[in-house]
Structure 1
Amino acid sequence: MDMEPHILVVDDDREIRSLLDRFLRKHGFRVSAAADGQTMRRALDEWKIDLVVLDLMLPGEGGINLCRELREHSDLPVIMLTALGEETDRVVGLEVGADDYVAKPFSPRELLARIRAVLRRTQGDSRPRADSGQAVLRFSGWSFDPTSRQLRAPDGVVISLSAGEYDLLMAFATHPNRVLSRDQLLDLTRGRFAGPFDRSIDIQVSRLRRKLREDPKNPKLIQTVRGGGYIFATAVANDASTDT
């Protein structure tokens, strides 16, 4: 039983909590539920949670603030539940670190598929790029170890990466000094940021730039190519033969 992924559903709607509890248990998950941020924190302290399904429109502390708080100290995957048609909310959710979103009213089967996809990405069970022999990549004083999923800054500080940031950095670091269109980035990240609006890749690039301590007005590493996409404008050294 302990091997079953543990999902935390955070939603103030009792019917949604009950529905997802029954549905996800039926499909092999353990499920805990919370109606607000305080209960969510208690559940996270008490249990080893593998993924959070987080409603954006919670009373009191909203889902955006809770997701931002979570991202300050954790890479725990988060799928946001958002109101249908609220594109701005979905954009903000991705900006603060959500791994995916599902619009209400939603199909439980769609949510199940997205949960499984996010868990595959974050638990490493379908990640050939992060096998035990993957080389450490070094660029502009940074080191990036795909095996441990660890990014280390030039000053030695370890920077945490969400699943999306990891996939995007892998795409850039394995294709340096090459213009990559948004469509190519979607393909290289296996559709990681595919969504109904074109800004999804741009938002994730903005988040990764912040992790790389880029000046948002004059980024040096991930540069925008007008009409083309982005370029990772630095040499990348493959450090497979040296110790890290």
Structure 2
Amino acid sequence: MAIALPFLSAPYLAMHIPDGFLSGPVTVLTWVLALGFMTLAFKQVQRDYQEQIVPLMGVCAAFIFAAQMINFPIPGGTSGHLLGGTLAGIVLGPWAGSLVMSVVFLVQAFFFQDGGITALGANLLNMGLIGTLGGYYCYRFIRLLLGPSRWRSMAIATGVTAWLSVVTAATMAAVELGFSQTIPLKIALISLISWHLMIGLGEALITVLAVQYIWRSRPELIYSPFRHKRCVPTKNV
């Protein structure tokens, strides 16, 4: 979940970084990284994924977009909403999930003014790409440790990964604001991470419940690299 604060210090505590809060070098670097990851994700989806996953990508994008529009009140006059990167990664895989999250944040920035346009590279990188790519592989690693065939291992892996994705996104935003000299790095880290340690619990709960529902009703929708990747025929020599 991402936090949004309605008072003056909101940009320091919200992960949707607005325009004017990042320095030129940080803005350029985050845009380059975000565009690089998005290009790689697009090529990977074109090359490896079956065409049947495209409708699921649309459904997942619509769900995450709608879910992010719902803000939950948090004590102290704040609110938070779902990020959804881990959920997208688990259902769609790392690359298709990254594309879906990128589209969601692009629409939010251009049509709903949720985060700045110049800071869009940073917001894409923090909340969409790192949470989805890193989240998927973290989820897979934890499942391998606990046993891939049991629901308990999936629930633990999902919850831990969703929580980590929020904390990691908050840490990245704090570092970007700190290096931009918008706010002292120490204050940015303490402010963002302290809140998102708690907010990540909400992200974990929502993600676990969503994955549990899919697991029990339509388990074939959970991404598997062996089931969802395109089969490439080999030539007999």
TM-score by length of 1: 0.29
Compare the two structures and name the one with the higher strand fraction: 1
| TM-score, structure 2 normalization | 0.29
Q: Which has the higher contact order (CA 8 A, sep 6+)?
A: 2
